[in-house]
Each structure stands twice: as C-alpha cells, then as structure tokens.
Amino acid sequence: MIIEQADVIVTSPNRNFVTLRLVTDEGHVGIGDATLNGRELAVVAYLRDHVVPLLIGRDAHRIEDTWQFLYRSAYWRRGPVTMAAVAAVDMALWDIKGKEAGLPVYQLLGGASRTGLLAYGHASGKTNDELFDSVREHLEQGYRAIRIQAAVPGLKSIYGIASNATYEANKGERYDHEPAQRGGLPNEEDWDTRSYLRHIPTVFEAVRNEFGPELPLLHDGHHRMTPIQAAQLGKSLEPYDLFWLEDCTPAENQEALRLVRQHTTTPLAIGEIFNTVWDYQQIVREQLIDYVRSAVTHTGGITHLKKVLDYASQYQIKSGMHGPTDISPVGMAAAMHLGLSIHNFGIQEYMQHGAKTDAVFEQSYTWKDGLLHPGDKPGLGVELNVDEAGRYPYQRAYLPYNRLADGTVHDW
C-alpha cells in the first residue's frame, strides 16, 4: 500500500491547527496532528518542504521504519518542530493501518486495559468565588478531577485564567482560555514568584474547605519557579493532597527535580514541552517524577510516546498526557487510543474544543460520566472536513511571555 498524496492543512476555527493528510493508492486516508502553538508555520514548512517529498511512494504499512527513517535521515535530531512533524506522519500511518484492518488503533496497540480514561478539566478564577463557580461548573459537566489555577493579588494577568471561567459567562460557547491570542504579537504578562508562593496555598485551603478532601486536584506551576521555590510550593501544598503539581520548575536541567524531590511528597508531573525519550532519561531513571506529561502530537507520535511510557512503567510512573485546546481533536484521539491500551495510564487532560473546531474535525471519541473513550471506528476515529477547514485561514498567534517587576524576561 503506497502513499500517493500528502497534504498539510492549516485551519483556524477556534485557534490554529496543522494537520497532515495522507492518501494511499488503495484510497485509505490517514490524518495526523502537527500543531505547535505559536510556531505552527515552522512545522508546516518542515513537513511540506522536507518530509512530504520523502513520503510519496513509501509503503504506508511500514510505521516503525518510516519513523526511524524520518528521525535518523534528517541528521539533525529531536526538537519540537521536528518531532511534531514526525508525530503527524506517525499518527496518519496508524490511522491508515487501523482503517485497513477495520480496527480502532487501540486494538492494534494491544486492546483496552480499562473501560475508560479519567479526565481532568481546567477550573480557574480571578477570585475564590469565581474559582468555586468554575469548579462547580466542571463537576456538573462530570469531571472527576479538576485543575485549579488562580489569579495572584498584585499581578495584572496570569496563565490559566479563562477569560470567563463558566459556560454561561461565555453565552454557551465553551470557555477557551487559549493563551495564544490570534492576530497580534506576544502579550507581555507580569510575574512575581514570592506573591504566587504566598497565595496559592491559601487558594487550595479554600478549595479543600469548600469541596472536601476527596476531589483530585491538580495545579500547573508552568515552569516559573527555581527548584527550591518549587520545593517550597510542593511542601506547602502537602496538606491539600494534590493529584499532581505540574511543571514546577524548568526541566531542561533534569537534575533540578532532585532538589524538589528531597523536600516534598507532592506528586510531580513534567514533560509537556519535551519531545523525545531522551528528555526523560534521568528524571525517569531517578524516579524524579510521577507523571509523563507529553502529548502524542509533540513527542514523535504514538510509536515514540508508547516507548517513553513503556520505559516509565518500569519505574511505576504513569501517563498524564497533555490535552489543552492546542492539541487538535486528532492528537486527542491518538492520546486516547494510546491511553486506553497501556497499563500505566494515569489521567488525560481534556479541555474540550469549541463548536467551530468540532465542525472541522468530526470526532468519534466520547466523554461520559467523567471518562473518555476513543470509540471503535477503524483508525483514530476522527475525520477532517477539508471544505470546513478551508473556511478558517491561519491567523498568526503567539503565546504570551513574562517580565518581572524589574523588566527581566521570565518563564511563562
């Protein structure tokens, strides 16, 4: 079965998405997500100019060989752009293989290891009252685990606060806290770690007092703390029994997590900006994390992320796949197939896309009683409506960045 056609489709319904669409000589269509928030066109160029010419005429059956060929023949290895491009090819080939076999991809990966996938959503608020409303909104929707993000007194803007945190406030359109605002240049936000470290424990105390000790709560530090500051936060949150503290400190320096681990038992989740197993080598081997945060879309696809998670399973580390709105429904479906099949599944982030996005990407995955399931359509189970996609041309969008009070640029 030969790849005859490869198209890179850019569309921007609720936000920008990049999708690779392959067609074989037998008429099978496979799609893969290549969305890299804020750098979408870099992946488009990598795919169109350097990968597509290599795909035409290749045997679509050879998923592993194609992965190794794209990874090793480029000479220059790893990185978010390269691995998002490789991921899209990998997802599209798994989609084709499932369609040819007449099976959902999770069956090709070894079948289901559970009935459904625990999902968490994003509650947020500028005040505790707004945060509580957002938590209630997510509980009413059926979420069984909830991420808590809050404004910090004295800071003008901060990551993770939905423009309006509740459905009604958005007139029935799902709130979309999409941080990458289309049409402009990067927004500058302000940051002060000490104010944040003083405030966040009070937020979790209030949430626990309001909602009790059982509800699994998560928090995203979003790369902003030094290791010792992360250790301080982890320790101060121990009384509130978090499911995880995410991206507590920039983890290019994997050793940094040793210092955090020495001071706190709060579970740690790292990796949404990682893109190969090598980024995890030390933090997995030294048991420095509890959850692997990578998305299929940013980590070389199903083939490679499965290898990362199999490595992590030797250390009882579980998956916590990244699933904000900048992972397309194709990338979400791929994550669900992989998550359903592996033994060491932990939790799946699920922010839900907007109505325009759902019209472009016709999904067959389901979310019921707080559990996700990829569905049983052959392949990944998502169809790209190319005509609908054409209605929404790309709009340049940048993620924000931070500056400290003295003007120093800081991690966002």
Reading the block at residue 305, the tokens are 């992320």
Q: Contact at 8 Å (CB) between 96 and 29?
A: yes
Stretch that binds Mg ion, among 116-124, 268-276, 310-318, 384-392 (CB under 5 A): 268-276
Q: Which does 37 bind (CB under 5 to 8 A by kind): Mg ion, ligand CS2, none?
A: ligand CS2
Instruction: Rule CB under 6 A: choose which of 104, 125, 324, 370 binds ligand CS2.
Output: 324
* Residue in 51, 43, 52, 31 with CA at minimum distance from that of residue 105: 31
Report the C-alpha gap between 365 and 377 in whole angstroms. Answer: 9
* Residue in 90, 94, 97 with CA at minimum distance from that of residue 34: 90
Q: Which does 290 bind (CB under 5 to 8 A by kind): Mg ion, ligand CS2, none?
A: none
Q: Which does 399 bind (CB under 5 to 8 A by kind): Mg ion, ligand CS2, none?
A: ligand CS2
Output 39 or 61, the one with its CB closest to ligand CS2.
Answer: 39
Amino acid at 324: P
Q: Contact at 8 Å (CB) between 44 and 98?
A: no
Instruction: Rule CB under 6 A: choose which of 179, 301, 339, 378 binds ligand CS2.
Output: 179
12-51 CB burial, b ≥16 within 10 A, e <16: bbbbbbbbbbbbbeeebbbbbbbbbbbbbebbbebbbeeb
CB of 247 to Mg ion, least distance (A): 5
CB of 334 to ligand CS2, least distance (A): 16
176 binds ligand CS2 (CB under 6 A): no
Output 122 or 337, the one with its CB closest to Mg ion.
Answer: 122
Binding mask 221-250 for ligand CS2 (x = CB under 6 A): -x----------------------------
Segment 31 to 60, residues that bind ligand CS2, using CB under 6 A: 37
Residue 152, CA atoms < 13 Å, CB-side half-sphere: 20
Report the C-alpha gap between 350 and 372 in whole angstroms. Answer: 9
CB of 251 to ligand CS2, least distance (A): 13
CB of 323 to ligand CS2, least distance (A): 7
Catalytic annotation, pick one of 120, 159, 291, 392: 159
Q: Contact at 8 Å (CB) between 58 and 66?
A: yes
Q: How far is CA 121 from CA 36, 63, 151, 165, 226, in A?
A: 21, 33, 17, 11, 26
CB of 125 to ligand CS2, least distance (A): 17
Binding mask 140-179 for Mg ion (x = CB under 5 A): ----------------------------------------
Query: 29 φ, ψ to 5°?
Result: -110, 130
The residue to which tokens 């696809």 are assigned: 301
The site that binds Mg ion (CB under 5 A) totals a number of residues, namely: 2
Looking at residue 167, what DSSP letter applies? T
Segment 210 to 229, residues that bind Mg ion, using CB under 5 A: 220
Active site residue 159: yes
Catalytic annotation, pick one of 122, 138, 222, 223: 222
Catalytic positions are: 159, 222
Binding site for Mg ion (CB under 5 A): 220, 272
**Which residues in this chain contact ligand CS2 in the complex, by CB under 6 A?**
37, 179, 220, 222, 272, 324, 326, 349, 399
